Chains A and B, each alone.
Chain A
């Protein structure tokens, strides 16, 4: 269970980006690859804990699941894997390790509200 340290990394990255821009974060959008080794439910649970006593307290974590995409050497095309247990082209069955997507663990956007300028 390393999701808490991953969640803390997310909060840290998002806080830095928010402070640099002078904005308040209401939600963090995360791209999470099926091969990232991170369990989504555990991460969502950990996120709340990681946010406590930080500028991100009360913000939401919105996870976009990224499936594994391989490049099939036979079809010469990118294909989405059906199962994590089988690294073979879903159409022609050719085994491959040409992984194009699926390892993502990336904060890709923040939902922000601009901080009100002091009167």
Chain B
């Protein structure tokens, strides 16, 4: 036996995922589609919010969605009510989506016929933060019923996201939601993050979010064509 020695290797453990994510991002850019991924804890209202967004965008834009869940196709069925093309990804026991799953789910899709693609991740505020899906925008969603300090409890996912949406605002008074404390929590873990406070149920604030998406799509295409 020889003495143990140290060999430097330097291998990114998530390289395989990152390579696929980069290829997806390039494909999305070339097709001119703006891709939004949604992350949140279970039950915070991602599907209700997304159903509303898909419905509102449709007169003007071509939209589609992928939705990840451990099991059942219930969310795809709910989202399909918006009349947008929807595909369910069931992950089995896996608690997050990976770039390869997105790539597989999109086989045969004509991305250049889309303006927006939404990817609803599995409800989980921990694991999805490690996996790039090639998205243009990562949206983190929390509801007023979850408590103002949620961002402080899950700093990694909030830090890795680009925009925050606080939903179920129609319940804010009932649960004594302190908006200022929540805003400070987000600002602390993700300085400069834009925050939308809205109610998917009553429609309050949804118009402002839609304007934001329109603006981001225009910017995305302006950059893609330079």
**Residues of A with Cβ closer than 8 Å to B?**
1-2, 5-6, 9-10, 13-14, 17, 21, 23, 26-27, 29-30, 35-38, 84-88, 95-97, 105-114, 116
Per CB-CB distance, the 4 closest pairs between chain A and chain B, nearest first, are: A95-B191, A2-B127, A37-B129, A37-B130
Q: Does B187 contact A (CB under 8 A)?
A: yes
Q: Does B130 contact A113, Cβ atoms closer than 8 Å?
A: no
Is A112's CB under 8 angstroms from B7's CB? yes
Question: Using Cβ atoms and an 8 Å threshold, which residues of chain A touch B225?
Answer: none
Contact B5 A106, beta carbon cutoff 8 Å: no
Q: Is the CB of B156 within 8 A of A2?
A: no
> Cβ of B9: which chain A residues have Cβ within 8 Å of it?
13-14, 17, 107-110
**Given A10-B13, A97-B190, A109 and B4 contact (CB-CB distance below 8 Å):** no
Interface of B, secondary structure class, is: mixed
Check if A106 sits within 8 Å of B12, measured CB to CB.
yes
Residues of B close to A106: CB separation below 8 A: 10-13
Q: Roughly how many angstroms separate A15 CA and B95 CA in the complex, as a whole number? A: 26
Q: Which residues of B are at the interface with A, using a C-beta cutoff of 8 A?
A: 1-16, 94-96, 126-127, 129-130, 152, 155-157, 159-160, 187-192
Q: Majority SS of interface residues in chain A?
A: mixed
List A contacts of B4 (CB < 8 A): 26-27, 111-113
Shortest distance from the beta carbon of A70 to any chain B beta carbon, whole Å: 10
Interchain CB contact (< 8 A) of B130 among A38, A84, A108: A38
Chain A residues contacting B13 (CB-CB under 8 Å) are 6, 9-10, 13, 30, 105-107
- Contact pick for B189, options A6, A86, A111, CB 8 Å: A86
Taking a contact as CB atoms closer than 8 A, the residue among B1, B126, B192 that contacts A95 in the complex is B192
Return chain B residues, CB-CB under 8 Å to A95: 187, 191-192
Asked whether, in the complex, the Cβ of A84 is within 8 Å of the Cβ of B10, the reply is no
Q: Which residues of A contact B130 (CB under 8 A)?
A: 2, 6, 36-38, 105
Q: List 23 A-B contacts (CB under 8 A).
A: A1-B127, A6-B13, A13-B13, A17-B11, A21-B7, A23-B7, A30-B13, A36-B156, A37-B126, A87-B159, A87-B191, A95-B187, A95-B192, A97-B191, A105-B13, A105-B14, A106-B10, A107-B9, A109-B7, A109-B9, A112-B4, A112-B6, A113-B4
